[in-house]
Amino acid sequence: MSRIVSIWLPHLAIERLKRERTASGATPQPDDQPFALVGSDARGLKLTAVNARSLRDGLTPGLRLADARAICPHLLTAPAAPGKDADALLALARWSSRYSPTLNVDGEDGLWLDITGVSHLFGGERALLADLATRLTRACLTARLGSAETLGGAHALARFAQPSPHIAPPDKIESTLATLPVEALRLQPETAQLLRRLGLKRIGQLTYLPRASLERRFHSTEAAQAVLLRLDQALGHREEKRASLLPAPDFLVRLPLAEPLITHDGVIAGLDHLAVELCQTLARAGCGARRVTLWAARTDGSSAAIEVGFSVPSFEPSHLMRLLKDKIETIDMGFGVDLMALAALITEPLRLTQTSLAETDGDVRPEALIDALANRLGKSAVRRLFPRASHIPEWGQSLRSAFAGRPAWTNDAASRPPRPLLLLSRPEPLTVLAEIPEGPPARFTWRRVSRRVVKAEGPERIAPEWWRALAMLSKPRPRDYYRIEDEDGGRYWVFREGLYQDGTEETPGWFLHGVFG
């Protein structure tokens, strides 16, 4: 059975402004004087939020500013900032993921959390709500909590039930909601007002009233169906879709802390424990992580997160630790961290590898170095060569992100002549003296230095690709490659482009394409 917690923050906008002024060193608004935030609409200025003292004086959100000043002449006001309020609610939702990964905002002043299957981690549902209420109070936020098997039921309990937190026992949602007013069903104000005029003031009255009789009391079928929909959702007779704010990771481990950590060394010690647990979970599932995030919740209700990526799937705790330790110093510890969570956001199946001590594939694995460089310098700063289907040397590979996967190079060196270790990105022209026109060079000049050739091997002819030639304006010419060595021991890869007797007026040209080690 599902269990949903609803959090109502009736004074979120006022308390957000108070915390903002306190943090900046400004004088916060006094709690013992009427205070309100003012916004505007097509009809003029109105109150968007009021403090507890204003409520006692008869002021409510939505009241026109002129009417409010007539009721309370000494009212203090400040401009409303709905964008900042929405950001504060979103930050609080992310912080609340310490209790459940499945959650979202609920209107402009509330949150909901799906705690199904996680309450036992906190000592039970009542202990979870008590801990949540204590932390919200410590963060100077007024909050009311409700818990039920439906979102509609939890929403109603948080806003209208006493005391707070209020928990609906399993399978007792109907009797728990029966005494609450009809406004608790999330109805439009005019619909709730019509129900009261009809004498239907409590949810229990709607529950026991025949549905056909209820529909006849409304002038439109749509209004009656809206009431029945909200009633069925609250009682669990109809499913209500809930979209989570944060994607729930498949692999997540948590570490609640009895005492807050105030140093980065403590975070590193906690990370060591989390890394081992997460990697063991990944290994059992046959998966490796491609992106991992470390989330740290602070005692003041804020949080911080750092992320690292892997060029290939990994489940090695030591490798994960090395990458995250480089970024832990960027975490602001604030008043202390009391919860850490490590999640693999992106995973991939592991590739089968040789594990025998007697046999290895001899494959070079530079992923650890690539990951360290990429996470320190940025993914765009580190690239790898990937094979491309072309036998033209400069087109036979491409540069791509190091996180694009592992390049599938084939070991075909034995089936072709040797290639130089250094291949120039663009062949450089040479001035060549050859003993015979179709033979290797006897002397060449490269970068203003003349060199005498003492050894030569070749040619290796590489013909142009006809399918690329169709798209070119000029006709490509074949290349004859030679491996040559000068009198100082330097070894070069040169080619002659074109033939002397190919029926064209173009003279073949010589180019240097690479240097052997």
> Predicted confidence band at 468 (pLDDT cuts at 50, 70, 90)?
low
Which tokens belong to 317?
């705790």
Same domain, 159 and 206: yes
For residue range 424-440, what is the model confidence (pLDDT) as tens digits? 888 999 999 988 888 89
The confidence score (pLDDT) of residue 314 equals 85
Rounded percentage of the chain residues whose pLDDT exceeds 90: 46
SS3 label, residue 273:
helix
Residue 191 domain flag? yes
Please check whether residue 404 is in contact with residue 486, taking contact to mean a CB–CB distance below 8 angstroms.
Answer: no
Same domain, 203 and 268: no
> What single letter denotes the amino acid at residue 441?
P
Q: What is the secondary structure of 337-352 as a DSSP string?
A: EEEEEEEEEEEEEPPP
> Predicted confidence band at 247 (pLDDT cuts at 50, 70, 90)?
low
For residue range 170-211, what is the model confidence (pLDDT) as tens digits? 999 999 999 999 999 999 989 899 899 888 999 999 988 887
Same domain, 103 and 203: yes
Which residues, 6+ apart, have CB-to-CB distance to 360 below 8 Å?
A: 354
User: Within 10 A of 442 (CB to CB), how many other CB atoms are there?
Assistant: 15
- Final residue of a domain: which of 297, 318, 349? 349
CATH code (residue 98): 3.30.70.270
Rounded to whole angstroms, the Cα distance separating 40 from 79 reads 9
Rounded to whole angstroms, the Cα distance separating 443 from 456 reads 11
**Beta bridge pairs of residue 485:** 455, 491
Rounded to whole angstroms, the Cα distance separating 136 from 5 reads 14
Residue 39 domain flag? no
Rounded (5°) CA angle 231-233-237? 95
Same domain, 338 and 473: no
Phi, psi of 274 (to 5 degrees): -65, -40
Give the strand pairing for 76-79 and 35-41: parallel
How many residues does this entry show for the chain? 517
Domain count, the chain: 3
**Beta bridge pairs of residue 452:** 443
Which tokens belong to 263?
């140093």
> Predicted confidence band at 413 (pLDDT cuts at 50, 70, 90)?
low
Residue-averaged pLDDT of the chain: 86
Which tokens belong to 497?
């482009």
For residue 49, give the nearest of 76, 74, 23 by alpha carbon: 76
Residue 46 domain flag? no
Rounded to whole angstroms, the Cα distance separating 360 from 293 reads 33
Residue 166 has pLDDT above 90, yes or no: yes
Rounded to whole angstroms, the Cα distance separating 463 from 340 reads 60
The confidence score (pLDDT) of residue 302 equals 75
The confidence score (pLDDT) of residue 397 equals 80
Same domain, 281 and 186: no
Same domain, 244 and 125: yes
User: Within 10 A of 217 (CB to CB), how many other CB atoms are there?
Assistant: 16
Same domain, 320 and 424: no
Which tokens belong to 81?
């900032």
Residue 508 has pLDDT above 80, yes or no: yes
The confidence score (pLDDT) of residue 75 equals 93
Rounded to whole angstroms, the Cα distance separating 354 from 39 reads 67
Rounded to whole angstroms, the Cα distance separating 159 from 145 reads 8
Residue 25 domain flag? no
Q: What is the pTM of this model?
A: 0.62
In this prediction, residues 105-133 reach a mean pLDDT of: 91
For residue range 122-131, what is the model confidence (pLDDT) as tens digits? 889 999 999 9
Residue 84 domain flag? no
User: What is the separation, in whole angstroms, between the first and last Cα of the chain?
Assistant: 69
Q: Please, how many CA atoms are within 13 Å of residue 331, restricted to the half-sphere of its CB?
A: 30
Which one has a higher pLDDT value, 479 or 403?
Answer: 479
Rounded to whole angstroms, the Cα distance separating 396 from 390 reads 5
In this prediction, residues 359-380 reach a mean pLDDT of: 67
Phi, psi of 148 (to 5 degrees): -155, 180
Residue 71 domain flag? no
Same domain, 191 and 179: yes
Phi, psi of 67 (to 5 degrees): -65, -35
Range of lowest pLDDT (71-75, 143-147, 182-186, 345-349): 345-349
Rounded to whole angstroms, the Cα distance separating 517 from 420 reads 7
For residue 264, give the nearest of 324, 307, 342, 328 by alpha carbon: 328
Which tokens belong to 454?
């003492």
Same domain, 256 and 242: no
User: Within 10 A of 127 (CB to CB), how many other CB atoms are there?
Assistant: 13
Rounded to whole angstroms, the Cα distance separating 478 from 190 reads 84
- Final residue of a domain: which of 225, 248, 271? 248
Query: Which residue segment(s) compose the domain that 154 sits in?
Result: 1-8+91-248
Give the strand pairing for 144-148 and 4-8: antiparallel
Please check whether residue 456 is in contact with residue 483, taking contact to mean a CB–CB distance below 8 angstroms.
Answer: yes
- Final residue of a domain: which of 320, 349, 378? 349
Please list, residue by residue across 134-171, b when 16 or more beta carbons sit within 10 angstroms of its beta carbon and e when fewer do: ebbeebebebbbbbbbbbbbbbbbbbbbeeebbbbeee
Rounded (5°) CA angle 297-150-237? 160
Same domain, 238 and 255: no
In this prediction, residues 45-73 reach a mean pLDDT of: 93
In this prediction, residues 63-69 reach a mean pLDDT of: 94
Residue 353 has pLDDT above 70, yes or no: no
Residue with tokens 């490796």: 288
